Amino acid sequence: MPASLEQWGDHVEEIARAGRGFVEAYEIGNEPNVEHFWGGTPPDPAQYVQVLEIAHQRIKAVDPSAIVVSAGLAPVGRIEGNCNGWSGNDCGAMDEREYARHMFLLGAGDHFDAFGYHPYGFAYPPDTDPALVSNGFAFRGAEVMHDLMKQFGLDHKPMWATEFSWLRDPSADGALPGRCHRYSIYEDNFGWMEVPELRQAAYLTRAFQYADENWPWMGAMFVWNLDWYDYGWLCEPARYFSVLKIDYTDYDPYRDPPPAPYTTTLAYEALAAMEKRPGHFGPRLAIKPSALSFLADVDEPRAYSDAVVPLNTGYGVFTWTATVMTGMRITGTMGTGTLGVQITPTLAMTTGLQGMPISVTVDSTGYSVGTFIGLSSVTATTTDVLDAPQVVSVMLRVVPQVHRVYLPLTLRLAP
């Protein structure tokens, strides 16, 4: 937590001003649910939301098109205990699910364009169900976090995997087999998640494929890391997450010249060869719900109203326009439906900003028994918005009688 939020904001604003036109996105912090990355103090989601809010305000003030990504949370598992009033927190780390839940409760969703998470694969294939492994330690743990976003109405925002990978067996780089397992600092924390070099490469490429096929909500994905191959000591795990390496295989320091500064791993080569497609970091239109339906009693004509919301499931900001589509000849499909009749919805507003609802009204007066459909088109006012325009179907179903069923209601006072 910065000592002064005002000074922190000034610093962030200075960075954003310098980066305008060059930097597309800013990640605000790194793994704040771990004490080591929260200034050596216990994780505190309320403090982090304050930091995120200030950063978001300052960045958008100087570069409105910049993407603000919340700090990638570390998957630390189901932690017991309570620290400073936060459950799932042992003062050294806080359960990432609890941390995210409290972030969302505190309004963090108003202060990021994308939610950051670190879906490491640990020892398991990328398609492993997190419910089947201890602590949910799996690449697909990202799905659990996205479900949390959905619970708080944030599933229209992308998630970014700002770190992920698998740990390569150090012996692939020439370390003596099992050497690092002799050291408790390595063995107790990382030894169990080693995978062979070939498997690291396969899991990384399969992870991108899985996300591409199953996660339309996933945005940018960053493999960690590129070149920490000489960081720290020989058994520093960061070396073996790196997709470059110093190859000591068959190296004899008494006979051989020093090895090359670095060489590529199988993971690097697989990622370089992997089929890729361009990312899109502009706005994307989504309508929720995608259609409306009204049920009317033929003997009780009246007006019915509901709303759809144009959402931005991408980045940036857009405005929309809405129109009622004309010239559609709709046929009644039920009972004595009147042929060739089209309903004409009324829109309370025809232009607005993303997130502003469009109220739609349909009057059943004059309609006989049948099913009638009208169409409305919603589009963005600029051409850089994906999935625009979209058509919203509005259905009016007129029936001879609406049968209403009433269920008993029991109220209970909270203790």
Q: State the number of CA atoms in the 13 A half-sphere of 32 facing the CB.
A: 22
Cα separation, 399 vs 393, in Å, equals 19
**Res 1: pLDDT:** 80
The CA distances from residue 193 to 1, 133, 200, in Å, are 32, 12, 11
Looking at the structure, do residues 261 and 307 belong to the same domain, yes or no?
no
Looking at the structure, do residues 40 and 79 belong to the same domain, yes or no?
yes
3-state secondary structure of 96: helix
Looking at the structure, do residues 156 and 235 belong to the same domain, yes or no?
yes
Strand partners, 294: 396
Looking at the structure, do residues 316 and 390 belong to the same domain, yes or no?
yes
Q: At a CB cut-off of 8 Å and minimum separation 6, what does 205 contact?
A: 270, 271, 274
User: CATH number, domain at 358?
Assistant: 2.60.40.10
CA end-to-end span of the chain, whole Å?
37
What is the identity of the amino acid at 39? G
Looking at the structure, do residues 154 and 181 belong to the same domain, yes or no?
yes
The answer to whether 37 touches 31, Cβ cutoff 8 Å, is: yes
**Res 334: pLDDT:** 36
Burial zone of 193 (CB within 10 Å; 0-12 exposed, 13-18 middle, 19+ buried): middle
pLDDT at 254 over 90: no
pLDDT at 413 over 70: no
How many domains are contained in the chain? 2
- Arithmetic mean of pLDDT over the chain: 91
Looking at the structure, do residues 70 and 209 belong to the same domain, yes or no?
yes
Tokens of 246: 């110093």
The closest of 141, 272, 270, 273 to 215, measured between CA atoms, is: 141
Asked if residue 411 belongs to a domain, the reply is no
Condensed to tens digits (0 to 9), the pLDDT of residues 111-130 reads 999 999 999 999 999 999 99
Asked if residue 174 belongs to a domain, the reply is yes
**Res 191: pLDDT:** 95
Asked if residue 279 belongs to a domain, the reply is no
Looking at the structure, do residues 302 and 255 belong to the same domain, yes or no?
no
Asked if residue 413 belongs to a domain, the reply is no
User: CATH number, domain at 209?
Assistant: 3.20.20.80
**Res 163: pLDDT:** 98
Looking at the structure, do residues 253 and 313 belong to the same domain, yes or no?
no
Asked if residue 70 belongs to a domain, the reply is yes
Chain-centre distance for alpha carbon 165 = 18
Condensed to tens digits (0 to 9), the pLDDT of residues 42-93 reads 999 999 999 999 999 999 999 999 999 999 999 999 999 999 999 999 999 9
Condensed to tens digits (0 to 9), the pLDDT of residues 184-231 reads 999 999 999 999 999 999 999 999 999 999 999 999 999 999 999 999
Looking at the structure, do residues 295 and 188 belong to the same domain, yes or no?
no
**Res 337: pLDDT:** 38
Host domain of residue 364: 285-399
Looking at the structure, do residues 105 and 183 belong to the same domain, yes or no?
yes
Asked if residue 407 belongs to a domain, the reply is no
Condensed to tens digits (0 to 9), the pLDDT of residues 295-354 reads 999 999 999 999 999 999 999 889 999 988 764 333 333 333 343 455 677 877 789 999
pTM: 0.86
Looking at the structure, do residues 83 and 205 belong to the same domain, yes or no?
yes
**Res 237: pLDDT:** 96
Residue with tokens 């997450």: 241
Looking at the structure, do residues 107 and 157 belong to the same domain, yes or no?
yes
